[in-house]
Structure 1
Amino acid sequence: MSASARKLPTKMVEKVWGRETLPEPFLAPGGVRIGEIWFDPPAELPQLLVKYLFTSKKLSVQVHPGDATALPGEDGKEECWLVLDADPGAKLAIGFDREHPHEVIEQAARDGSIEQLLTWHEARPGDVYYLPAGTVHAIGPGLSLVEVQQTSDTTFRLYDYGRPRELHLERAMAVADCGPYPDEHRGTVSSRGETLIDAAHFRVDRIEGTPGATVSSAYTNGLLALPLKGEVGVRTGNARAGAGECLYAPSIDALDFASAELTLLTRPRAY
């Protein structure tokens, strides 16, 4: 691992379902709908991508392959969401109302009735969702999320509300779980405590102030620090990150949390 702790470059991504007005501290270019704000993965942690999502319309109904189901040229993708803000009635579609035969889901994707078969979860700030690869999902409008994921852009769309974009039904149905979303994959920041996600490909912790010994012991190698409130700095050098920014560090000992209030920490499960 590199000894260089530093702030990561930020990339705004235009999306049809994004917003022209973003919540503070972000500012969208005039007349542009920004749906995602990425932090380019550092060379030391190429397998992990952190981003913000801001929605004004529904995202497509989609699914991602896992490492075991991805074909050559595809990459597996598991992900998780932390809801930062939600308009009244904002929802996330994850999984189905019951177990369905694959041919039923495929036909529903073709005729649009898949929206009625999905389970729509009312979203509130502080909600946490872990989505293993193969989970069929869609994000509704009126949401601000942090997403942590494997670095992958392999997405198979099942339904896109009539938008003129390609669907990928054959590959989607080959990797999709057509059953309900397991309750154990969802929670809240109050029910989960500091460790929000400890999954197959990454870990995510939510820290108020300075991390304690238990969390610190889990971050002895490279990590990303995403301040939600306050600032995180480095012990050697001038790099600092505030809300809306992200730091890479070779270990948690390289970071200074004296001005931190609320911070997400994440790292790959294995190096």
Structure 2
Amino acid sequence: MTANRLSTRSIEKVWGRSDLPRAFGLAAPAAQQPVGEIWFEDSKGPRPDLLVKYLLTSEKLSIQVHPDAAAARAYGYPSGKDEAWLVVAAEPGARIGLGLRAPISKAELRAAALDGRIEAMIDWREVSAGDVFFSPAGTIHALGPGLTLVEIQQNVDVTYRLYDYGRPRELHLDEAIAAAIPEPYVAPFEPYAYAPGREILVDSPAFVIERWTIGAGGRLAAGPERPVWLIPVRGGGLIDGQPLEAPTVWVVEDQSRIRIDEGSEVLFAYPGQGVCDALFVDTRIADAPIPGHERRHFVPARRIDPIFR
């Protein structure tokens, strides 16, 4: 089975953008709301474990939270919602809010959401291209304007709004307060270098995300129970003879031939916990008398500017 290029679906959001990056090949929104999310989906087969999106912000998103597995299933959802973001581009001063500046009670959280004080309680942090954040279920969070992000999440569409800056959209105070952890954010995972040019950004019960900044050619080995999503962010290469380039997303459920050009940055995501040691065989060195672990020590690539303009 060859790699499957996912189709795109644009989602209108009040906080989205009308000046869509040319690379997406989408027309500007006609009249109503700007586009805030671009989903990458496969209309065939069963519902996948993961969903990849691009987020494009021109205004603040609501202050919100997602439920964990137990809370989500109590309302009929198949899973909770952990998510992670890679910042592709950020305007000067662009910020992401993660957690609160100080712990408070749930009663205090409700009062702050009702009167708007919650905005000042959020731990806002400036971000830049290349930053990565993992937001597990229960994390109170928000995104500011001026951001282009790749979001990788558990494939469930459930968001509870705590505060929406007075916009006429529904809030979900009871559900949000029940799901929220009203305290400072502590990163549950610290990224680390698995090998030169191969960085583990997230390793959680829900998914693993790797960032490769390598030049390589070889075979990607996936499986139907643990498919692999490929998200080229910069640069590119080939996958089963087709162009591997941003902003596309591919899913591999068997084996595929890939080539990653020098100077590229590609995300690999797959469901479940634990790094897949045999994810990739670099056939350029596979016949050399080098131990298996050393075969994953690729040459680090230089960073290049984002393609989004």
The verdict on a shared fold, with TM-score over 0.5 as the criterion, is: yes
1:113-132 alignment, distance < 5 Å = 113-132=117-136
2:150 equivalent to 1:152: no
**Higher mean C-alpha deviation, range 18-27 or range 137-146:** 18-27
1:173-252 alignment, distance < 5 Å = 173-185=177-189, 194-210=199-215, 221-235=226-240, 239-251=242-254
Equivalent position SS for 1:58: coil
Write the distance in 1 (CA, Å) between the matches of 2:39 and 2:189: 24
Write the distance in 2 (CA, Å) between the matches of 1:107 and 1:178: 12
State the AA in 2 paired with 1:89: G
Equivalent of 1:255 in 248, 254, 257: 257
Runs (5+) with no aligned partner, structure 1: none
Aligned to 2:52: 50
* Alpha-carbon displacement from aligned partner over 1:145-173 (angstroms, at most 9, x marks no partner): 11000001111100011111110000111
**1:187 Cα offset (Å):** 6.4
**Higher mean C-alpha deviation, range 19-28 or range 139-148:** 19-28
* Alpha-carbon displacement from aligned partner over 1:22-51 (angstroms, at most 9, x marks no partner): 234124423451111111156366110011
Write the distance in 2 (CA, Å) between the matches of 1:186 and 1:52: 23
**1:256 Cα offset (Å):** 1.3
* Alpha-carbon displacement from aligned partner over 1:46-103 (angstroms, at most 9, x marks no partner): 1100111010000001100011222232341000011111111111111001110101
State the AA in 2 paired with 1:264: L
Aligned to 1:35: 36
Equivalent position SS for 1:69: helix
Please tell me whether the aligned partners of residues 206 and 271 of structure 2 are also in contact (alpha carbons under 8 angstroms). yes
CA RMSD in angstroms, aligned pairs only:
2.6
2:272 equivalent to 1:269: yes
2:20 equivalent to 1:25: no
Write the distance in 2 (CA, Å) between the matches of 1:129 and 1:30: 29
Indicate how the Cα distance of structure 1 residues 256 and 212 shifts in structure 2: closer, same or farther if over 3 A, else same.
Answer: closer
Indicate how the Cα distance of structure 1 residues 113 and 145 shifts in structure 2: closer, same or farther if over 3 A, else same.
Answer: same
Aligned to 1:13: 11
Indicate how the Cα distance of structure 1 residues 28 and 8 shifts in structure 2: closer, same or farther if over 3 A, else same.
Answer: closer
TM (norm. structure 1) is 0.87
Write the distance in 1 (CA, Å) between the matches of 2:75 and 2:47: 22
Indicate how the Cα distance of structure 1 residues 258 and 132 shifts in structure 2: closer, same or farther if over 3 A, else same.
Answer: closer
Indicate how the Cα distance of structure 1 residues 99 and 216 shifts in structure 2: closer, same or farther if over 3 A, else same.
Answer: farther
**Higher mean C-alpha deviation, range 4-13 or range 101-110:** 4-13
2:142 equivalent to 1:141: no
Runs (5+) with no aligned partner, structure 2: 274-309
**1:193 Cα offset (Å):** 5.8
Aligned to 1:109: 113
* Alpha-carbon displacement from aligned partner over 1:218-248 (angstroms, at most 9, x marks no partner): x56411111112334333xx54432111111
Question: Which structure has the bigger radius of gyration?
Answer: 2
Write the distance in 1 (CA, Å) between the matches of 2:260 and 2:58: 36
Write the distance in 2 (CA, Å) between the matches of 1:60 and 1:230: 33
Write the distance in 2 (CA, Å) between the matches of 1:88 and 1:43: 42
Write the distance in 2 (CA, Å) between the matches of 1:60 and 1:211: 41
Q: RCO higher in 1 or 2 (8 Å CA, sep ≥ 6)? A: 1
Q: How many residue pairs end up in the alignment?
A: 261
Indicate how the Cα distance of structure 1 residues 60 and 37 shifts in structure 2: closer, same or farther if over 3 A, else same.
Answer: same
The sequence identity of aligned pairs, in percent, is: 40
**1:204 Cα offset (Å):** 0.8
